[in-house]
Amino acid sequence: MSNYFKNIKNAFKLKHYVNYIGVGAVLLLFTVLYYVGALNRATPNLLIQIGYSIILAVSLNLVVGLLGELSLGHAGFMCVGAYLGATVANALAGTLPLTLVLIISILAGGVSAAVFGFIVGLPALRLRGDYLAIVTLAFGEIVRNICKNLPFFGGAQGLQSEFYTEYLKAGKRALPLFIPTFIAVLFMLFVVQNLIRSKHGRAITAIRDNEIAAKAMGVNVTYYKLFVFVVSAFFAGVAGVIYTGTTSPIQYSFFSYNYSIEILVMVVLGGMGSIGGSIISAILITYINFALKSMLSGDMAAVKTLVYALILIVMVIYKNAPALKNVREKFNLQNLKEKIMSKVFKVKSSESDIRDDAGEWDEIPTKIITDEVLSTDFNLTTYTPDKPDKNQK
């Protein structure tokens, strides 16, 4: 028994739980502030937006960062989960407690989005690159227009959310929606991070690095591609159901192509394959968007999109410009995290330098440029034989 706990202690690494600790600390802090009455009315709504943005960014990072395929239909899967989850919630509202209605509708929206992910992914994942992006983009637009024109989903006027109406009536008696939202974030992190560190995650990253080599080593490429696509679609559907708890009616225009691009921007800014980066990027972009809507209202609303675009351009330039490389290294969050872990948690820097297989694979070069091999300098030494001795016969 002592060896068992000793092995657990040796296998424990604090860096594997940083995301859980951060999300859990935020949830605990704002829960306490909510129940003591220290939050204004806008903050819980902002927390909900941040929560489902994190779910969307991390789930899309599975496809784009871990699998290496470009998908532009994430808002479409969110739309499926939102409309079908809201339909289930409307049928159950008033008959069951609100928390139970939310859980059932989340499961229904997530599963329905996963089913659509399987249906779309089975033929679409035979394509790659731009062709896959076009197919997923078309799926998102098709779903959006179907919801727009079906009277069952409210047509162009949108679908009324009975859950949202009942939630407003309950007021303080109901559990604040940001609490189950962040619990869903923790569950999503548990699934995604364990998937990445498992043998299945290594198989998926092998497909991303070299699909032909992975297939030659016996990796079932079709299975793993479809598996990642379905898991990503499931969590997009969960995010869609959470969104329906914040507004009524549910408008098809929210799930546009532009929103898929915004989710992709979160992934790119946070770093391909980086879960922590996606979380930080989702928080930052959601807060900027929320703050601009609050500050630039009325006649200044038209300027909001321009300012938002300029901020994103500056962020992209800062992250990728070669001239700013020294500045990025000086203010690197990884170095800051290592300092905190070494001073507060007494973790050695040599331990913090060890990175997981999946989380940072975009920084590992997998190919050697031929010119570098050919330009390698070799220090050749010439052999000079000794002169013969004349006295020796």
Measure Cα distances from 382 to 11, 186, 379, 387 in Å: 52, 65, 10, 15
Q: What is the pLDDT of residues 244-287, one digit of tens each?
A: 888 888 888 888 888 888 899 888 888 888 888 889 989 998 99
Any idea which of 1-15, 60-74, 181-195, 314-328 has the lowest mean pLDDT?
A: 1-15
Q: Is the pLDDT of residue 94 over 80?
A: no
The predicted pLDDT at position 7 comes to 58
Any idea which of 22-26, 126-130, 177-181, 380-384 has the lowest mean pLDDT?
A: 380-384
What's the whole-number mean pLDDT along residues 128-147?
87
Residue type, 204: I
Most confident of the ranges 166-175, 212-221, 294-303: 212-221
Q: Is the pLDDT of residue 107 over 90?
A: yes
What's the whole-number mean pLDDT along residues 101-106?
91
What's the whole-number mean pLDDT along residues 327-345?
65
The predicted pLDDT at position 340 comes to 65
Any idea which of 95-104, 294-303, 383-392 has the lowest mean pLDDT?
A: 383-392
Under a CB-based contact definition with an 8 Å cutoff, are residues 133 and 70 in contact? yes
The predicted pLDDT at position 324 comes to 74
What's the whole-number mean pLDDT along residues 172-193?
89
With cut-offs at 50, 70 and 90, classify the pLDDT of residue 356. Answer: very low
Across the chain, what does the average pLDDT equal?
Answer: 80
With cut-offs at 50, 70 and 90, classify the pLDDT of residue 53. Answer: very high
The predicted pLDDT at position 335 comes to 65
The predicted pLDDT at position 227 comes to 92
Identify the CATH number of the domain defined by range 8-363: 1.10.3470
Q: Is the pLDDT of residue 50 over 80?
A: yes
Question: SS3 string of the chain?
Answer: CHHHHHHHHHHCCHHHHHHHHHHHHHHHHHHHHHHCCCCCCHHHHHHHHHHHHHHHHHHHHHHHHHHCCCCCCHHHHHHHHHHHHHHHHHHHECCECHHHHHHHHHHHHHHHHHHHHHHHHHHHCCCCCHHHHHHHHHHHHHHHHHHHHCHHHCHHHCECCHHHHHHHHHHHHCCCCHHHHHHHHHHHHHHHHHHHHCHHHHHHHHHHHCHHHHHHCCCCHHHHHHHHHHHHHHHHHHHHHHHHCCCCCECHHHHCHHHHHHHHHHHHHHCCCCHHHHHHHHHHHHHHHHHHHHHCCHHHHHHHHHHHHHHHHHHHHHHHCHHHHHHHHHCCHHHHHHHHHHHCCCCCHHHHCCCCCCCCHHHCCCCCCHHHHHCCCCCCCCCCCCCCCCCCC
With cut-offs at 50, 70 and 90, classify the pLDDT of residue 294. Answer: confident
In percent, the amount of the chain with pLDDT more than 90 equals: 24
Q: Is the pLDDT of residue 317 over 60?
A: yes
